[in-house]
Chains A and B, each alone.
Chain A
Amino acid sequence: MSVHSEIDDTLRRLGSVEPPSGLERRVNLRLQNSRDRFSTRVTRTIATCALAASVALSAVVLNPALRSRVFHHASAPSMPAVNTPRVVAPVSGGFGAASAVHVPVEPVPVQPTPVNQGRGRSRSGRAVLPTGNLAPLPRGVAAPHASPAVSPDPAH
């Protein structure tokens, strides 16, 4: 037998090896086991997660301190408290114009409700047809012709 035919014979035999009987059955069995294990693992993981979530939720709902911490954590100060100066409203007057309290000494007379005094408008605010002088008003700021000098309210 020549060398090349020996090589061919060896390779042919090597490549036509018969697998042990029942190989397919064993492979399928192992695949089945793997599937079962996988599905069991998934089910167990889901059950564990659900149990943990329900326990955590129950703890939050039943424990008032925990509940207030969980549900009101957003309104709680995130920064530690620092020594900031407290602002106390003074008894009279104030620090500035915005916080000052001005109490008039005498009662202030109630002004009549200001209504639109423009042309073409009634006191109720509804539009009315002009009946008087229809001449257009001059442009610019009109000064009253004769108005008595009114002293300003001492309260204001």
Chain B
Amino acid sequence: MAAPEQETHARVTALVEEYSTTLYRVAYSVTRNTADAEDVVQETFLRVLRHRNKLAEVRDYRVWLVRIAWNLVLDRKRRAKTRPQVDDFEDLARVLPTGELSAERRVITAQRHARILALIDTLPAREREVLLLSAVQELSTVEIALVLDTTESTIRSRLYRARHALAALLEQEGSLQ
């Protein structure tokens, strides 16, 4: 194998080691399905391998990779029209870290999370996307703006609107119960 090819493969392997977890979280925030999220991560790196000649031009690998994964996950969601597995509370309780809670308490918390996630899915697409990306701890507002190809102030205003809309929905639900 040629030396530049080996170098490229080494670089892609390093990217896998460094960004797999972030990409998995980005994908999981939309799919909420472990297998689908992993598929998205793999597909992202396959795309990277396919466009490896562009690797030298990339300035910010994190933004670039998240953008690829984000587009892939949105495509997948549009095509499959699959509902996130929010109804599977056991799975959600297993996946979402809940700390040292009792089994009963853990299931109740998971139910509450599932309800909030279901309400997030009812938000307008732009606000929902910003809210989900903001959940990924590794991403700053500037990076989210780069991923979504907009300005930082737009991201901030969308985030504000999304949180207030979600809070209003939750309060409305709480008053109804």
Contacts and interface: CB of A to CB of B under 8 A. Distances in A.
Contacts of B49: 31, 34-35
A30 B46 contact: yes
Interface in B1-56: 9, 12-13, 16-17, 20-21, 24-25, 28-29, 34, 37-38, 41-42, 45-46, 49
B17 A14 contact: no
A27 B16 contact: yes
Interface stretch (B72-80, B132-140, B148-156): B132-140
B145 interface: no
Interface stretch (A18-26, A97-105, A133-141, A144-152): A18-26
B20 A23 contact: yes
A9 B137 CA distance: 12
B42 A27 contact: yes
Contact-size category for B: 35 or more
Interface in A1-47: 3-4, 6-7, 9-20, 23-24, 26-28, 30-31, 34-35
A135 B41 CA distance: 108
B90 interface: no
B97 A13 contact: yes
A27 B9 contact: no
Contacts, number: 92
B167 interface: yes
A112 B4 CA distance: 83
A4 B9 CA distance: 45
Contacts of A17: 24-25, 28, 95-97
Contacts of B24: 17, 19, 23
B34 A20 contact: yes
B136 to A, nearest CB: 5
B20 A11 contact: no
B117 interface: yes
A27 B29 contact: no
B164 to A, nearest CB: 9
A4 B134 CA distance: 15
Interface of A: 3-4, 6-7, 9-20, 23-24, 26-28, 30-31, 34-35
27 contacts: A3-B171, A3-B174, A6-B116, A7-B116, A7-B170, A10-B116, A11-B134, A12-B135, A12-B137, A13-B96, A13-B97, A14-B25, A16-B97, A17-B24, A17-B95, A17-B96, A19-B21, A19-B38, A20-B34, A26-B42, A27-B41, A27-B45, A30-B42, A30-B45, A31-B49, A34-B49, A35-B49
